[in-house]
Chain A
């Protein structure tokens, strides 16, 4: 029972003391104890039961507890829209044009928002410099917004601090002479440029360094070297007949302009008729990349040997005097010259500026500048290479000549070369301010950390690749009150006054929109997302090259690249990105040291496949006095004597989220990828440390030692060589073969046993032909019957860049299962991109295989084998010809998945959707059910999009327009490889594509009548080089 102390009548401070006895005066402990009550405890209690006071206490407590039971949830104020915001109809999504800064360029986007909550990112198709497609990173940026580990509050030396304190710091900094430096991620925003000037005016001598984690922007430096001014090149791959890539992965998802370049490249290879033209792509590269997959001739070589090829090529073209061209280089040169100015030579990011300059020279000599290569004058002054400016800044910092360092969206403690000792220099700066999405490596070492607002939460602007002014507008208020955008902090530091991003951007745009009515123009810009006619002017100066090409290095070469799934590590805490298989190796949740089979043999490295997982040798890699450990991965087609690895792993991000801990019988803590702190922490190894002071991506003479330990590597697909003869899964031919027989793909059909006659599978005898469900009146009488949905995937366009996978994941609420469960074969991607190594004429796997990629969604078979085996009719055919999965009805026998010949059905082995963190729940598409544990799921042809479009058409009392519906994968695909639509409409894109001569259906011989057709792939080899190329 609760006993309350008796009020002590002892006034201690008044000076006058009232006392009863001497022991009382002397504070005798024994007396105090007994005197606390006049009688001993309990003496005054009622003889039995409760006394009045206890009764009242109990009564009160029980009342209080009864009241508590009714308020388990915190009180929230749910307000009706008394005044409905304009154009807002609950449940009807709104779309806003915005843009995302990707590696310094704005990528124009349209973002879909449900009830104020952005749920899907698409490309802005109306933008003059965008295709309407989007890539892996645009799609995945949505989950960045909802990342549960995002930084939420201002930190001062690691502890939560007041925003007011930071404000006053900035005000204080305005007075006196401060030496300010800014280290910022590249961004071509005009507002930022304006604020930079403001800052430089306020703090004379302020240093500004654009910081790229991958090091120098070799392309810009190369162009600058050749032309003497800061230029930017834009390539028109569509109209190029011959494209030469010197280690350039320009189609890669991480490429600076990957989306647009893929779009134009794919357009240059669309084959609708037998006589259509098709470009030819030569690729020289060290590791296998997405661009290498698309190559017609691929030459694997060390990255530092590519400059030799460039030199040979330039010599053959007569613009340089270098090495004597070999047969490969001279054949390419002849091919380039043959095109009469419709060709492109590009060099890659891992190549030094000299090679880029030589490319510029070659392009100029080939007369393509102005036709397929456009040089844009960005108007920026001559740039200093990062390899010069960054060490200079660090030197200043170390010398104590920097008082304030502002770091905007960068993480140099993690990714600056170790030789720089950035962290050490940081300690010498009195005020270091880090603005970022996460409490990352740099945030923890800085005196101040300000949570950065995501681009979907902030106002801003930028320029697209061609310079078109593009607006960035928020779709949601910052999820965390203290989050501020980078320009707001920059303005604050520059002026001492906090200004809202909106005002900052408008101020920049005032002079840009000088018309009578700024508001109208401004609204127009926000609506469209861009301002027409603001692209950079194109110029055509004369290049020169006085540089010296370096010869190939010695010893083992290491090449560092940006990762096609987590980029430089900024997407490392993104579950979608971590679980996205690498386009070539298909590895998830890891970075590996990629080596060729021969190099692996020479170095006695192994990567053993056992029981669904790979067990790789862990090696130590030593360069520039740094040693790291990495598991190896043996990749056929990789160049010998060189190894490659991607940046962006080995992150260490802090979080305030508590770890999920469940009792031993509950596996939630094991199956929840978010259960153990931040996702990125502990995945892979940070390799950026190995770089030298100049952060060069190619390191010669690395030392590689086996540790004797093994590391488990998980892939979504096993190694395996495809015998295209026996299993005509991916069908391929050369351009000549295609011209001879455009329908060559059907040659691949399995002949009827015992004869050479190909069977038309449409003519297969069919059981119950007349009583097939599709003939039933329930189908025929349905309104849905008038549309029959189908899909065509052009294997000649698909690069395997993964954009479709992430788009599908974002659209369809596909959960992430983590490394262990992917290893168990339980990944949930509805759409996968299959990768096959293809060798011809019984070559060894090691030699130089081609790679074929094939996106694999549900094929929506008309005679679906999954439907007939479900005991509860949970998967059925819709009248509009899609194979539907009824989650509510599914009891989870998994029979359908077994009987699917494409194995595209995915099963919820655990309750993955149960443990999604609250913020990630906001990323879920409200039009798609979240699947419970124990049910099957699979590609639905984005049925919610079909029904949405039909609903819209119904409301507007009109018929569905031609090609009005697009699937998420189709919309994202930068190569336009996926066509989706109504097969009942002869004029629809999909019907047109299906009638393409290259069309074939996979496993048609099973008589399952898939609704997805593939267009066979065509290679365009140079006959002068032979097929081996």
Chain B
């Protein structure tokens, strides 16, 4: 296999560019990916984990402070019952969308370029969903009885209230988390076996061996694996659409102007994919640089993600404009005012931040040069996520602060605890992600090998005949 590195592959004109560049062979990929879990991590990793675990500690302190004192430590008030925590929840759930989309939907659509990014995208999904689950958990006033939202049989014969969208959320997000976790783990099994086989010490061998479930790479294993993976992909696909639809029901099912909108499910799903891809892009640009895997996560992958960002960003922008149109078209004062207030009220700055970040910036991706420019991609991916955070802020806070009766109108001011809790959630996310980078293969080794030209069963046949011609 080592000789394959020297082989030059020429492609027929007009074919897709190769998914893995640099003429990497099977072993090179194994080596390139596994190596990072085996050697000492780069110093950048240490610096990053120091920062992120500090932020994680801040998060824990903020949660302790919150539970000790009460929800009052945040900025929430009477008209604005939901402030930053719910904004953050929707933000993180949205980010957690890209992983399963990449894994499941792109898998079903046979988008082979997904293999380079799906592992880390899925990991990112899991960690984002953990962050997301954190916020609704801590935002209830009496966290010690939050299990009442679960349908646990009890002697009071008291069930949760199944009409409440918050309860649907509980189910939707937890199911999504479990399925994503299983999906991610199943995909990891062959790679864990690879790590096990390469392990130099007994502990590593035992741990990876335990999680590799006795994988030997036998044909029978592969057949079962492929079937399971396909089934799980099929199972996860509707979840991609359902989770954010259900999250959007939190708003859409209510009667508050600005929330009570039937466009929300598709608009939220598009927004989620939009922000999720932006987050994957941010992380991948850093990881491929630091770990030197530019040949596996290539510029073409980034460009494809940029195109998806452009597509979903335009969808989201279209939804913003549709909302405005419908508010005007409805002739309902409350609806009209809710949207006018977004654009011109005391939070207009938030609204226009959202509009420019989400609608304007991704439009630059029409230009090929820009969507292949690493600095521009990096900046835009961050801007998109800022914009998407503000989108949730606009929906949650601006709609609530002025609704039907002007007498109840008020203003929402976040506190330092709000800010630090949100910052702390990035600490949680990054800490988990860095641990993942350190101990697990960040690229699906087995899957990337499958997209190498050599994995084509007819590859050697074709190339041998080509060779004969020479």
A611 to B80, CA, bound (A): 13
A1008 to B73, CA, bound (A): 33
Q: Are A666 and B142 in contact (CB under 8 A)?
A: no
- Residues on A with beta carbons closer than 8 Å to the beta carbon of B70: 667, 908-911, 933-934
- Residues on A with beta carbons closer than 8 Å to the beta carbon of B403: 901, 903
Q: Are B81 and A898 in contact (CB under 8 A)?
A: yes
Q: Are A891 and B145 in contact (CB under 8 A)?
A: yes
At the interface with chain B, which of A28-36, A59-67, A486-494, A869-877?
Answer: A869-877
Q: Are A892 and B332 in contact (CB under 8 A)?
A: no
Q: Are A871 and B254 in contact (CB under 8 A)?
A: no
Interface string of A887-920 (1 = CB under 8 A from B): 0011111110111011101111111000000000
Q: Are A907 and B331 in contact (CB under 8 A)?
A: no
Q: Are A891 and B142 in contact (CB under 8 A)?
A: yes
The interface residues of chain A, by DSSP majority, are classed as loop
A856 to B332, CA, bound (A): 23
- Residues on B with beta carbons closer than 8 Å to the beta carbon of A897: 78, 81
Task: Tell me if A735 counts as interface (CB < 8 A to partner B).
Answer: no
Beyond A718-B410, A903-B408, A935-B142, whether A893 also contacts B166 by CB under 8 A is yes
A666 to B404, CA, bound (A): 36
Task: Tell me if B148 counts as interface (CB < 8 A to partner A).
Answer: yes
Beyond A872-B148, A893-B166, whether A898 also contacts B82 by CB under 8 A is yes
A895 to B136, CA, bound (A): 11
- Residues on A with beta carbons closer than 8 Å to the beta carbon of B72: 667, 671, 821, 824, 826, 909-910
Q: Are B413 and A612 in contact (CB under 8 A)?
A: yes
At the interface with chain A, which of B157-165, B196-204, B236-244, B315-323?
Answer: B157-165
**Minimum Cβ distance to chain A for residue B69 (Å):** 5
Beyond A722-B406, A834-B405, A834-B407, whether A666 also contacts B81 by CB under 8 A is no
Q: Are B255 and A873 in contact (CB under 8 A)?
A: no
Q: Are A720 and B333 in contact (CB under 8 A)?
A: no
Q: Which of A826, A933, A1006 contacts B255 (CB 8 A)?
A: A1006
Beyond A902-B405, A903-B405, A903-B408, whether A895 also contacts B164 by CB under 8 A is yes
A834 to B405, CA, bound (A): 9
A666 to B331, CA, bound (A): 49
- Residues on A with beta carbons closer than 8 Å to the beta carbon of B76: 894, 907, 909
Q: Are A868 and B164 in contact (CB under 8 A)?
A: yes
A671 to B73, CA, bound (A): 11
Task: Tell me if B266 counts as interface (CB < 8 A to partner A).
Answer: no
**Minimum Cβ distance to chain B for residue A620 (Å):** 30
Beyond A873-B160, A892-B142, whether A665 also contacts B68 by CB under 8 A is yes
Interface string of B6-46 (1 = CB under 8 A from A): 00000000000000000000000000000000000000000
Q: Are B164 and A666 in contact (CB under 8 A)?
A: no
Task: Tell me if A727 counts as interface (CB < 8 A to partner B).
Answer: yes
Q: Which of B158, B330, B333 contacts A726 (CB 8 A)?
A: B333
Q: Are A909 and B148 in contact (CB under 8 A)?
A: no
A910 to B415, CA, bound (A): 15
Beyond A722-B406, A753-B330, A898-B81, whether A870 also contacts B164 by CB under 8 A is yes
Q: Are B400 and A907 in contact (CB under 8 A)?
A: no
Q: Are A665 and B148 in contact (CB under 8 A)?
A: no
The interface residues of chain B, by DSSP majority, are classed as loop
Task: Tell me if B411 counts as interface (CB < 8 A to partner A).
Answer: yes
Interface centre among B68, B160, B331, B407 (most CB of A within 10 A): B407
- Residues on B with beta carbons closer than 8 Å to the beta carbon of A889: 148, 158
A722 to B65, CA, bound (A): 41
A753 to B334, CA, bound (A): 13
**Minimum Cβ distance to chain B for residue A647 (Å):** 28
**Minimum Cβ distance to chain B for residue A714 (Å):** 11
Interface string of B157-199 (1 = CB under 8 A from A): 0111101111100100000000000000000000000000000
Task: Tell me if A513 counts as interface (CB < 8 A to partner B).
Answer: no
Q: Which of A720, A753, A891 contacts B331 (CB 8 A)?
A: A753
A363 to B69, CA, bound (A): 62
> Which residue of B has the minimal Cβ distance to A1007?
B255
> Which residue of B has the minimal Cβ distance to A903?
B408
> Which residue of B has the minimal Cβ distance to A872?
B148
Beyond A826-B78, A868-B164, A911-B70, whether A753 also contacts B332 by CB under 8 A is yes
A890 to B142, CA, bound (A): 8
Q: Are B78 and A856 in contact (CB under 8 A)?
A: no
Interface string of A918-961 (1 = CB under 8 A from B): 00000000000000111110000000000000000000000000
Task: Tell me if B77 counts as interface (CB < 8 A to partner A).
Answer: yes
Beyond A826-B72, A899-B256, whether A717 also contacts B407 by CB under 8 A is yes
Q: Are A826 and B65 in contact (CB under 8 A)?
A: no
Interface string of A479-501 (1 = CB under 8 A from B): 00000000000000000000000
- Residues on B with beta carbons closer than 8 Å to the beta carbon of A909: 70-72, 76-77
A935 to B82, CA, bound (A): 14
**Cβ < 8 Å to A, chain B residues 60-113:** 64-65, 68-73, 75-82
**Cβ < 8 Å to A, chain B residues 401-441:** 403-413
Task: Tell me if A250 counts as interface (CB < 8 A to partner B).
Answer: no
A644 to B8, CA, bound (A): 92
Give the interface residue-count category, chain B.
Answer: 35 or more
**Minimum Cβ distance to chain B for residue A608 (Å):** 12
**Minimum Cβ distance to chain A for residue B177 (Å):** 18
Give the number of residues in A that approach B within 8 Å (Cβ atoms): 62
- Residues on A with beta carbons closer than 8 Å to the beta carbon of B167: 871
Task: Tell me if A285 counts as interface (CB < 8 A to partner B).
Answer: no
Q: Are B77 and A825 in contact (CB under 8 A)?
A: yes
Beyond A612-B413, A727-B406, A910-B69, whether A898 also contacts B160 by CB under 8 A is no
A722 to B409, CA, bound (A): 12
- Residues on B with beta carbons closer than 8 Å to the beta carbon of A905: 78
**Minimum Cβ distance to chain B for residue A586 (Å):** 9
Q: Which of B149, B255, B406, B408 contacts A871 (CB 8 A)?
A: B149
- Residues on A with beta carbons closer than 8 Å to the beta carbon of B75: 824
**Minimum Cβ distance to chain B for residue A907 (Å):** 7
Q: Are B331 and A868 in contact (CB under 8 A)?
A: no
Task: Tell me if B301 counts as interface (CB < 8 A to partner A).
Answer: no
Task: Tell me if B234 counts as interface (CB < 8 A to partner A).
Answer: no
A920 to B80, CA, bound (A): 30
Interface string of B337-348 (1 = CB under 8 A from A): 000000000100
Q: Are A825 and B80 in contact (CB under 8 A)?
A: yes
Task: Tell me if A1003 counts as interface (CB < 8 A to partner B).
Answer: yes
Q: Are B69 and A666 in contact (CB under 8 A)?
A: yes
Q: Which of B81, B331, B405 contacts A856 (CB 8 A)?
A: B405
Task: Tell me if B253 counts as interface (CB < 8 A to partner A).
Answer: yes
A871 to B332, CA, bound (A): 30
A611 to B256, CA, bound (A): 21
- Residues on B with beta carbons closer than 8 Å to the beta carbon of A667: 69-70, 72-73
- Residues on A with beta carbons closer than 8 Å to the beta carbon of B158: 873, 889
Task: Tell me if B140 counts as interface (CB < 8 A to partner A).
Answer: yes
Q: Are B400 and A873 in contact (CB under 8 A)?
A: no
Q: Are A933 and B141 in contact (CB under 8 A)?
A: yes
- Residues on B with beta carbons closer than 8 Å to the beta carbon of A901: 255-256, 403-405
Q: Which of B330, B400, B410 contacts A612 (CB 8 A)?
A: B410
Task: Tell me if A836 counts as interface (CB < 8 A to partner B).
Answer: yes
Q: Are B407 and A856 in contact (CB under 8 A)?
A: yes
Task: Tell me if B139 counts as interface (CB < 8 A to partner A).
Answer: yes
Q: Are B406 and A720 in contact (CB under 8 A)?
A: yes
Task: Tell me if A186 counts as interface (CB < 8 A to partner B).
Answer: no
Task: Tell me if B290 counts as interface (CB < 8 A to partner A).
Answer: no
Q: Are A750 and B332 in contact (CB under 8 A)?
A: yes
A85 to B352, CA, bound (A): 72
**Minimum Cβ distance to chain B for residue A649 (Å):** 25
Task: Tell me if A358 counts as interface (CB < 8 A to partner B).
Answer: no
Beyond the given pairs A727-B406, A753-B331, A933-B142, 7 more chain A to chain B contacts, judged by CB atoms under 8 angstroms and listed by A's residue number, are A753-B330, A753-B332, A871-B170, A893-B136, A899-B254, A902-B404, A936-B141
20 contacts between A and B (CB under 8 A): A612-B77, A665-B64, A665-B68, A667-B70, A727-B404, A753-B330, A824-B75, A825-B78, A825-B79, A836-B406, A868-B164, A869-B164, A872-B161, A891-B141, A892-B140, A894-B141, A903-B405, A933-B141, A933-B142, A935-B142
Q: Which 3 pairs from chain A and chain B are nearest by CB?
A: A892-B141, A934-B141, A825-B77
